[in-house]
Amino acid sequence: MQNYSDIAVVPEATFSDIKTPDLSIQLALFRKANQKLSALSDEELCEKLNFTKNGIPTLAGYLLFNDYPQQRYINSCIKACVVLAKTIEETLDKPTRFLDSRRFEGNLFDIYKSAETYIFQNFVCVDNSASDHLSTVVREALINAIVHRDYNSGGATMLYIYPDRMELINPCGDIGDIKIAEDIDYCALEFNDKNPHIIRAFENRGLLKIRHTGVPIILNAMKNAGFDSDIFSVENGCFKVTLYKDSI
Q: Which of 97-101, 150-154, 202-206 bottoms out in mean pLDDT, i.e. has the lowest?
A: 150-154
Whether residues 14 and 122 fall in one domain? no
Whether residues 44 and 152 fall in one domain? no
Q: Which domain holds residue 14?
A: 5-67
Amino acid 42: pLDDT: 97
Torsional class of 216: left (φ above 0), alpha (ψ -120 to 50), beta (otherwise): alpha
Whether residues 206 and 237 fall in one domain? yes
Whether residues 174 and 51 fall in one domain? no
* Averaged pLDDT score across all residues of the chain: 83
Q: Which of 114-123, 140-149, 239-248 bottoms out in mean pLDDT, i.e. has the lowest?
A: 239-248
CA 129 centroid distance within chain: 26
- pLDDT, one tens digit per residue, over 187-209 is 444 455 789 999 999 999 989 87
Whether residues 135 and 209 fall in one domain? yes
* Whether the Cβ atoms of residue 50 and residue 26 lie closer than 8 Å to each other: no
Whether residues 113 and 220 fall in one domain? yes
Whether residues 22 and 92 fall in one domain? no
Whether residues 45 and 84 fall in one domain? no
Amino acid at 7: I
> What confidence tier does 87 reach under pLDDT thresholds 50, 70, 90?
confident
Residue 128 has pLDDT above 80, yes or no: no
- Which DSSP symbol is given to 127? -
